[in-house]
Amino acid sequence: MKVNGRPYQTVWLEGSTVKLIEQRKLPHVFEIASCATHQDTARAIREMAVRGAGAIGAAAGYAMAQAALQAPEARFHDALDEAAEVIRSTRPTAHDLFYAVTRVRAAAACANSVEASRMAAVRAATALAEGNARAGQAMGRAGLPLLTPGSRMLTHCNAGWLAFVDWGSALAPVYAAQEAGVEVFVSATETRPRSQGAKLTEWELSQAGVPHQLVADTAAGALFRRGEIDLVIVGADRIAANGDTANKIGTYTLAVLARRHGVPFYVAAPRSTFDPAAPDGSAIPIEERHEDEVLYVWGRADDGTLQRVRIAGPGARAFNPAFDVTPAELITGFITDQGILPATPEGLAGYVREPSAAPVG
Ligand code: MRU
């Protein structure tokens, strides 16, 4: 996708350096961060310089490739296992992260010399990132028939190209509609506490020239009640085998509202987000983040500096789960790179039944 008219991906590998769009400074500052080692890339994932399940997966795959390129020959496989642990420990919910680490590790294990292993890891990480961008485009095509001229869509958090390598998941059908000349209108929720909707989705849609408005999370119910939402499309961080879906905190609230108002509720995600090892949503680990994300807000002051401001009173404590689980029964369907699938174990069985450690590249 383009930023100020120039094409970008969210994350890529240059030599043994991982480059990524620094998402914590958007929309105020557009900056490319460089991560020289897998530890730097792991920190960027943990601290959310790169975020969104697909982009986290691509960054994790590249971090493994970095580790493979930099590991000493004498203890190559031990060093790679240690790197995998460091990368896996960054964020617990996004399945794409574990999917990527497992695949790049498996690719490196299959080669018969250290040099061949290094190259196999780079090829696997690159194939994952390229596959991620292709899956985004395919989800766009699959979701396009759901949108007609004038459709009013609601989305939550950021599930656009910043959350992927390119295209995105929930916003991919919107970009496909734009390419097809179908104009839709997007309402983007602010998405407290980290405000990915206000900071990232609003910026992305502005860059793309898609008509949109930002709404406070608390305004969603009023929008449904006024009949101003035709469909909801969100992304996902991990989908259990029965279709229960973990996504950004607040997704469940929107799914309940959609059901109450008879509005279709779709989840867009590629295969790498489905976790066949989780039978239902209760098996999905939910990340809890620091309470300061609730107690403070970040933004740009009138003098142009980025500042953190406390909104809660002194001594206030906060509970900060990053994700919630929407039960499959509230989901109309999954927009995948293989088309729209029903949110039932039978509907998903063929799609998720893939050996989880098959090497790529
Ligand atoms: O905490 P984040 O910003 O990484 O959470 C992102 C989301 O919840 C997205 O909706 C999700 O990753 C789907 S888009 C790939």
Domain spans in the chain, listed from the N-terminal domain onward = 2-135, 138-349
- pLDDT of 52 strictly over 60: yes
Confidence of residue 360 (pLDDT cuts 50, 70, 90): very low
Q: What is the pLDDT of residue 124?
A: 98
Q: Could you tell which of 158, 199, 217, 254 is best to mutate to test the pocket of ligand 1, judged by most ligand atoms within 8 Å of the CB?
A: 158
Instruction: Please state the rounded mean pLDDT for residues 296-320.
Output: 97
- pLDDT of 353 strictly over 80: no
Instruction: Please state the rounded mean pLDDT for residues 55-61.
Output: 98
- pLDDT of 30 strictly over 50: yes
Closest ligand 1 atom number to CA of residue 51: 4
Confidence of residue 57 (pLDDT cuts 50, 70, 90): very high
- pLDDT of 195 strictly over 50: yes
Q: In 3-state terms, what secondary structure has residue 336?
A: strand
Confidence of residue 356 (pLDDT cuts 50, 70, 90): very low
Instruction: Please state the rounded mean pLDDT for residues 132-136.
Output: 97
Q: pLDDT by residue (tens digit) across 164-191?
A: 999 999 999 999 999 999 999 999 999 9
Please indicate whether residue 302 is annotated as part of the active site. no
Element (H, E) at 60: helix 53-70
Q: CB neighbours (10 Å) of residue 234?
A: 27
- pLDDT of 321 strictly over 70: yes
**Phi, psi (deg, nearest 5) at residue 3:** -120, 120
Q: In 3-state terms, what secondary structure has residue 119?
A: helix
Q: In 3-state terms, what secondary structure has residue 147?
A: coil
From ligand 1's centre to the CA of 135, what distance in Å?
16
Q: pLDDT by residue (tens digit) across 246-282?
A: 999 999 999 999 999 999 999 999 999 999 999 999 9
Nearest in space to 177 (alpha carbons), one of 202, 210, 200: 210
2-135: which CATH topology?
Answer: Four Helix Bundle (Hemerythrin (Met), subunit A) (1.20.120)
Q: What is the pLDDT of residue 26?
A: 97
Q: What is the pLDDT of residue 5?
A: 87
Sheet holding 11-14, edge to edge: 11-14, 17-21, 32-35
From ligand 1's centre to the CA of 115, what distance in Å?
35
Confidence of residue 218 (pLDDT cuts 50, 70, 90): very high
Q: What is the pLDDT of residue 183?
A: 97
Protein residue with its CA nearest to atom 15 in ligand 1:
53
Active-site pick, 166, 217, 237, 275: 237
Site residues for ligand 1, CB cut-off 6 Å: 51-54, 157, 159, 163-164, 169, 196, 235-237, 247-248, 322
Class for domain 138-349, per CATH? Answer: alpha beta
- pLDDT of 355 strictly over 90: no
Q: Could you tell which of 45, 171, 248 is best to mutate to test the pocket of ligand 1, judged by most ligand atoms within 8 Å of the CB?
A: 248
Q: Are 351 and 119 in contact (CB under 8 A)?
A: no
Confidence of residue 111 (pLDDT cuts 50, 70, 90): confident
Confidence of residue 312 (pLDDT cuts 50, 70, 90): very high
Closest ligand 1 atom number to CA of residue 48: 4
Q: What percent of the chain shows pLDDT beyond 90?
A: 95
Confidence of residue 354 (pLDDT cuts 50, 70, 90): low
Q: Are 188 and 205 in contact (CB under 8 A)?
A: yes
Instruction: Please state the rounded mean pLDDT for residues 219-237.
Output: 98
- Enumerate the β-bridge partners of residue 332: none
Q: What is the pLDDT of residue 359?
A: 43
Least confidently predicted of 91-95, 96-100, 319-323, 350-354: 350-354
Q: pLDDT by residue (tens digit) across 144-168?
A: 999 999 999 999 999 999 999 999 9
